[in-house]
Amino acid sequence: MIREVTTEGPSVAEAIDAALEEMGVQQDAVEYEVLEEPGRGIFGGSGKRARVKVWVKPEILLGRPAEAAEDVETDDEHAEVAVSPPHNNDGEGELTDAELDAIADAGVQTIGEILSFVGMEAEIDEFEGDEGEIILDIVGDDFGLLIGRHGRTLDALQVLVAAITNRRTGQRYPLVVDISGYRHRRRVKIEEIAHRAADRAVRQHRPVSLRPMTSFERRVVHVALRDDRRVTTESEGDEPRRMVIIHPR
C-alpha cells in the first residue's frame, strides 16, 4: 500500500493529481508539501516542473474503516496501487521467507482484530501477487458492507491494515486486502471498458470520454492502455466528476 509519493507535473495541481492516481486516493484523504514550484523557461517556454510530496493523512491511517471510507477512493485488482519491488527498509535486499511470513501473519492478525471489533469473523486466504505483493483475501458471502460503494470501505480497510501491519513488523511491504476476489473482478471489468473505448477512439478518429471514475479506476485505465501505441490517455475534470479521456494518436 502506497502511503507517500513524490511526483512532478507542469503545475502543482497536476503533480498532486498524478500522486492521487498513483496512490488510489481522493485529495481530501491526503496532505502534501510543495517541494519545488513550477517555473517558466526562457522566452515563455516550459521551464522547471512542479514537484510535490503527498502522503495519506494520519487520521485516515489510524481511523476506523467505516469512518475512513468516505475519504479513501477505490482502487481494485490486487489493490491496483503501484506495487514496489519487495525490499527491506534498510535497503539491504529482498526479505526472507520468514520475514514475509511474519508480515502476512501480522496482516491476518490485524484483519481479524478489526473484524472482531465490528462483530465479524472470517477466513483469510493468503496469496502472492504477480508483482510479489502479499494478498490477504477475506473469504465469505456476507461482507458486502466491508466492500462499500465502489469499494470505498474496502479501500479504507486496506489503508488501515497496511498501516498497522507496517508499524507492527517495522517493514513497508506491499500488502493487499481483498474480499472474495472483488478487486480482481473489478479490475478486469474496467480493463475491458478501457480496451473497447480505445478501439472506438481509433475507429472514429476522435477522443472518447469515459464516465467519471474513482482515482483507482482511472489508474487501471491508464495502466491498461499505456502499451497501446494507438492511443494516449489523460485525466480531466475535478472530483467527483474527474474522468479519463482516450485520444487516438
Last residue of a domain, one of 180, 213, 235: 180
CATH number at residue 73: 3.30.300.20
Residue of higher predicted confidence among 248 and 72: 248
Mean pLDDT, residues 205-217 taken together: 87
Is there a single domain that holds both residue 19 and residue 119? Answer: no
pLDDT value of residue 132:
80
Q: Give the cell for residue 100.
A: 514475509
CA-wise closest residue to 184 among 147, 153, 239:
147
pLDDT value of residue 93:
58
As a whole number of angstroms, the distance between CA 186 and CA 97 comes to: 30
Mean pLDDT, residues 74-99 taken together: 51
Is there a single domain that holds both residue 139 and residue 36? Answer: no
Is there a single domain that holds both residue 117 and residue 209? Answer: no
pLDDT value of residue 58:
62
pTM metric for this prediction: 0.56
As a whole number of angstroms, the distance between CA 137 and CA 122 comes to: 10
| Total residues belonging to the chain | 249
Mean pLDDT, residues 93-117 taken together: 89
Alpha helices in the chain (DSSP H): 12-23, 58-62, 65-68, 97-117, 144-147, 152-169, 182-204, 215-225
Residue 47 sits in which domain range?
A: 1-56
Mean pLDDT, residues 76-98 taken together: 51
pLDDT value of residue 11:
78
Chain position carrying cell 514537484: 51
86: Cβ contacts below 8 Å, ≥ 6 apart: 94, 95, 100, 132, 173, 174
pLDDT in tens, 159-169: 888 888 988 89
